Amino acid sequence: MAERVSESPISLTIGTAGHVDHGKTTLVRYMTGTDTDRLEEEHRRGISIVPGYAELTLPGGRRVSLVDVPGHERFVKNMVAGSTGVDAFLLVVAADDGVMPQTREHLDVLRVLGVEKGIVALTKVDTVDEETVALAELDVEELLEASGVSAPVLRVSGATGEGVEELLRALDGLAAEGPEVHGGGSVARLPVDRAFVLKGIGLVATGTLWSGEIRPGDTLHTASGHRMRVRGVQNHGRPAEAARAGARTALDLTGIEASDLAAGEVLLSRPVPATKALDARIRLLEGAAPLPHGSRVRLYHGTSSTNARLRLLEQKEIQPGADAAARLVLGDPLVVLAGDRVVLRSLSPQVTIGGGTVLDAAPRGRRPDPEWLAALEGGDLRRILPLALSRETGRGMTAAELSLAVSATPEAVAAAAGEAPGIAVLGELYLPEEVAAAAGERLRAALRRRAEERPESPELTVAEARTATGLEPRLADALLAAPGTGLRATGSGISLPDADEVPPELEREAAALLDRLRDAGAEPPPIETSPAARLLVRRGEAVQLSEAMFGAGEAAEEVLEKVKSVCRAEGEISLAGLRDRLGTSRKYAQAWLEYADAAGVTRRLGDTRVLTRRYRTANG
């Protein structure tokens, strides 16, 4: 690939929409020098079949991405794919034709996608007289008024350039307002519209980056579990240091087969599970028929589409021009995030009937939760976050995870979590305060029981403490590591702060036992495992040789020194050899040799022991 260039981000993604043969592609070619009809069939038939893309530098120096979407009725699906993710529209209406059926449907699609700012270009003004232009202009203004859309209508010609300078200045004004922030800002999302193998390069995937940033070397994921690495990035056909939100992007990928990637997949900077259902606020277009509960519709999202069944929350049907909270049960899983827009079309006849905004991309239960949906629609993160966390009891969520669930940036989530009532913070995890308090109390109760039952060894291992919290491992570990818990972490585990306070009677018992062990030397008496014995071992004053045999720490040191001395002098030591040097029985010699093995001083070699590498020198 050619040398990468560092460029300013795309200021806006503008969708050019309109009826077939109204001059969209011609106008884009005049403004950008790019022919967005890239398929041979498109040139042969003179219409756009799939979305075309071009980059435009505006008079103020801002860069925008133009999406030239198909105008023919049969290609409305591709129009939806091209329009999803755009920030503003350039609606093209030919002066010699006026408003046509696809003009209306394209404007409808843009409206349900939430694209309500834009400009109307009245094209081909060079081909008709003033009266015809004025009638077409009036036709457009009536359409905009009926649709509730406010946009300037500018007269242009993609053939002669008439009015194009004024159009560019108007587009510059739109770009100055900045782009819409799409959902999932913390994760890079690229809906794939094409995937193909290019000779000498490999697998290439193209699409418009909805959010985040992708750089060469990044690892990307699909919802189906595939991982791939980005070898190169291009924006609008030029090598780039990074793909940024709004940019028309091509990625050179490795680590995935072409058969595993197709149009409709979504490339993600971190795994996001696909969903089979979503809760949304659905709005029906004014000209649509009433939509009853249980209706089947075709749902479009990004470059994907699937059949869906509508389940209404509070009513039996949605009336034209009205909206309702609803659950959409999807025929195929899609990667959807809160805040995304969807388009709905009827199955027969196939026309756009409405759309909506996703409120919850991972709904729980058989029916939507009205309180939860009302909070999401209200947009107050201080109310939303406690509810979101209560739905994930025992798990906890990071700011990045919450941002995907509530359509906000991680930074906004972190700021709101600091102000919202009832939220505890454990490291990077947020959870309800009552959950954290209950888990801490369960852990302290477990530690108290342990201290009562085994005062000589009051610690719980980390694994035992994690289980005692009743939380998932990630959250339990965060609780154990959090400051201010009143717990003490040592090399042997987790304990209460006063865990070293051994009862006086146990201290006396341990002291008496230690005296017996010291007197016995290398021939310790048989002793059943007891709290006193375990206390001595924990303190390092005794060692455990077997289930019912303990030796004094001093005796253990003397025996190990004798073993090392013999091995250094003779290369090895046998059971009989240690027995004779200790002047004891085979039983004790065997126990001490096994202890030496366990301590890492010796290793068994046939019927003898030799020193491990660490202890072969006198300094070992």
Measured at the CA of 364, the angle between CA 359 and CA 368, to 5 degrees, comes to 55
Instruction: Note the pLDDT of residue 43.
Output: 32
When pLDDT is averaged across residues 317-334 and rounded to a whole number, the result is 94
Is the pLDDT confidence value at 71 over 80?
no
Instruction: Note the pLDDT of residue 70.
Output: 53
For the chain, give the percent of residues with pLDDT over 70.
90
Model confidence band, residue 535 (pLDDT cutoffs 50, 70, 90): confident
Instruction: Note the pLDDT of residue 505.
Output: 84
Q: Tens digit of pLDDT for each residue in 280-323?
A: 999 998 889 999 999 999 998 988 889 999 999 888 999 999 99
The answer to whether 223 and 196 are in contact (CB under 8 A) is no
Instruction: Note the pLDDT of residue 81.
Output: 54
Spell out the domains of the chain, with CATH numbers in brackets: 12-176 (3.40.50.300), 189-268 (2.40.30.10), 275-372 (2.40.30.10), 504-615 (1.10.10.10)
Q: Tens digit of pLDDT for each residue in 410-425?
A: 899 999 999 999 999 9
Model confidence band, residue 451 (pLDDT cutoffs 50, 70, 90): confident
Instruction: Note the pLDDT of residue 516.
Output: 93
At a CB cut-off of 8 Å and minimum separation 6, what does 276 contact?
329, 330, 333
Taking the CB of residue 369, how many other CB atoms lie within 10 A of it? 17
Distances (CA, A) of 60 to 11, 171, 172, 174, 275: 11, 10, 7, 11, 42
Instruction: Note the pLDDT of residue 52.
Output: 62
Q: Tens digit of pLDDT for each residue in 145-180?
A: 988 889 999 999 999 999 999 999 999 998 887 655
Instruction: Note the pLDDT of residue 185.
Output: 58
Instruction: Note the pLDDT of residue 106.
Output: 81
User: Which amino acid type is present at position 550?
Assistant: F
Is the pLDDT confidence value at 181 over 80?
no
Please tell me whether the peptide bond between 349 and the residue prior to it is cis, using omega within 30 degrees of 0: yes
For the chain, give the percent of residues with pLDDT over 90.
46
- Which range has the worst mean pLDDT, 23-37, 62-76, 184-198? 62-76
Is the pLDDT confidence value at 6 over 50?
no
Residue-wise over 293-329: b if at least 16 C-beta within 10 A, else e?
Answer: eebebbbbbbbbbbebbbbbeeeebbeeeeebbbbbe
Task: State the pTM of this model.
Answer: 0.72
Please give the sequence-ordered ranges of beta strands (E in DSSP) within 209-340, or none if there are none: 213-214, 219-221, 227-235, 238-239, 243-244, 248-254, 266-268, 275-284, 291-292, 296-301, 304-312, 317-318, 323-334
Quote the CA–CA distance of 494 and 482 in Å, as a whole number.
13
Is the pLDDT confidence value at 614 over 60?
yes
Q: Tens digit of pLDDT for each residue in 374-390?
A: 999 999 999 999 999 99
The answer to whether 187 and 212 are in contact (CB under 8 A) is yes
Instruction: Note the pLDDT of residue 75.
Output: 41
Mean pLDDT of all residues in the chain? Answer: 85
Q: What is the DSSP string of 181-222?
A: --S-TTS-EEE-SEEEEETTTEEEEEEE--BSEE-TT-EEE-
Is the pLDDT confidence value at 15 over 70?
yes
Quote the CA–CA distance of 144 and 105 in Å, as a whole number.
12
Quote the CA–CA distance of 88 and 144 in Å, as a whole number.
15
Is the pLDDT confidence value at 101 over 70?
yes
**β-sheet bridge partners, residue 609:** 573, 604
Q: Tens digit of pLDDT for each residue in 108-147?
A: 878 887 888 899 999 999 999 999 999 999 999 999 998 8
Is the pLDDT confidence value at 46 over 50?
no
The answer to whether 23 and 47 are in contact (CB under 8 A) is no
Distances (CA, A) of 277 to 274, 330, 333, 528, 586: 9, 5, 8, 61, 72
List phi, psi (to 5°) of 430.
Answer: -110, 145
- Which range has the worst mean pLDDT, 394-398, 564-568, 576-580? 394-398
Is the pLDDT confidence value at 37 over 50?
no
When pLDDT is averaged across residues 488-498 and rounded to a whole number, the result is 77
Q: Tens digit of pLDDT for each residue in 209-239?
A: 888 899 999 999 999 899 999 999 988 777 8
Instruction: Note the pLDDT of residue 425.
Output: 92
The answer to whether 74 and 101 are in contact (CB under 8 A) is no
SS3 letters across 19-65: CCCCCHHHHHHHHHCCCCCCCHHHHHHCCCCCCEEEEEECCCCCEEE
Instruction: Note the pLDDT of residue 10.
Output: 63
Quote the CA–CA distance of 447 and 269 in Å, as a whole number.
41
Model confidence band, residue 25 (pLDDT cutoffs 50, 70, 90): confident
Quote the CA–CA distance of 434 and 424 in Å, as a whole number.
8
Instruction: Note the pLDDT of residue 246.
Output: 73
